[in-house]
């Protein structure tokens, strides 16, 4: 049985990716949620993850400590992780790798917080470039492979990799086009995504750095935890 170590659902975008993939595809796993600590979590997380970071997947014999590596490890046993069409798989891997290593302005200016609605003070040129690229990728995937998901008719790993972006776009009210908005609605209507968001909002833990990050670039207009 897989054990998936994750951080707080409210904050951890990296944890969401493999969790959503496995949960939606009904790949059996035991969830191990380990909360972030004030002042840093490296020592706590290092007890199960070589990098002191999440996510981390464990079996009786193997530890996989990177979200993209976890995805590829799972794909060796579960063909539904990636699209069945070879061209769609190649595109999906490129898009997922681009998400894995890029979009720094989007990450930094719109930190993951499932519970907060934020109005940005401004949309910088670098953030606008990231949003334009997200729009381009989503339109390209949906049009090229027929939708409604990025690589075709079924949810696959590339959708999991962009799932945190859908939260950021929605919670920071970021300007994207009609296709992107329809795609976000599709992802947020998935039962697995609904469960993650519900769990995130219901978490009792608060971590100062993550809470303050959300207000760095804008004004908090709503906290869903207070509803």
pLDDT tens, residue by residue, 62-76: 999 999 999 999 999
User: Contact 36/8 with Cβ under 8 angstroms?
Assistant: yes
Distance CA 6, CA 53 (A): 9
Residue 195 pLDDT greater than 90, yes or no: yes
Beta strands in the chain (DSSP E): 2-6, 29-33, 56-58, 63-64, 116-120, 218-223
> In the numeric block, which tokens belong to residue 14?
């990296």
13-28: average pLDDT: 98
Tens-place pLDDT, residues 151-192: 999 999 999 999 999 999 999 999 999 999 999 999 999 999
Global model pTM greater than 0.85: yes
User: Contact 155/149 with Cβ under 8 angstroms?
Assistant: yes
* Helix orientation angle between 86-101 and 125-145, rounded to the nearest 10 degrees: 170
> Which residues contact residue 62 at a Cβ distance below 8 angstroms, ignoring those fewer than 6 apart?
73
């Amino acid at each position: 049985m897989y054990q998936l170590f994750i951080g707080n659902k409210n904050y951890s975008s990296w944890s969401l990716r493999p969790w959503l993939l496995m949960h939606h595809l009904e790949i059996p796993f035991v969830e191990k949620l380990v909360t972030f600590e004030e002042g840093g979590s490296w020592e706590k997380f290092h007890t199960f993850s070589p990098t002191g970071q999440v996510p981390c997947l464990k079996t009786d014999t193997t530890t996989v400590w990177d979200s993209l590596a976890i995805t590829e490890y799972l794909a060796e046993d579960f063909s539904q992780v990636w699209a069945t069409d070879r061209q769609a798989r190649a595109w999906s891997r490129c898009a997922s790798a681009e998400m894995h290593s890029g979009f720094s302005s989007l990450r930094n200016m719109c930190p993951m917080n499932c519970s907060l609605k934020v109005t940005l003070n401004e949309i910088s040129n670098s953030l606008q470039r990231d949003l334009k690229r997200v729009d381009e990728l989503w339109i390209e995937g949906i049009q090229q492979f027929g939708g409604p998901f990025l690589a075709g008719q079924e949810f696959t790993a590339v959708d999991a990799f962009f799932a945190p972006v859908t939260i950021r776009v929605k919670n920071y009210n970021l300007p994207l086009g009609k296709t992107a908005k329809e795609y976000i609605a599709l992802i947020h209507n998935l039962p697995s995504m609904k469960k993650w968001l519900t769990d995130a909002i219901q978490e009792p833990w608060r971590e100062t750095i993550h809470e303050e990050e959300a207000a760095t670039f804008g004004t908090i207009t709503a906290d869903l935890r207070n509803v």
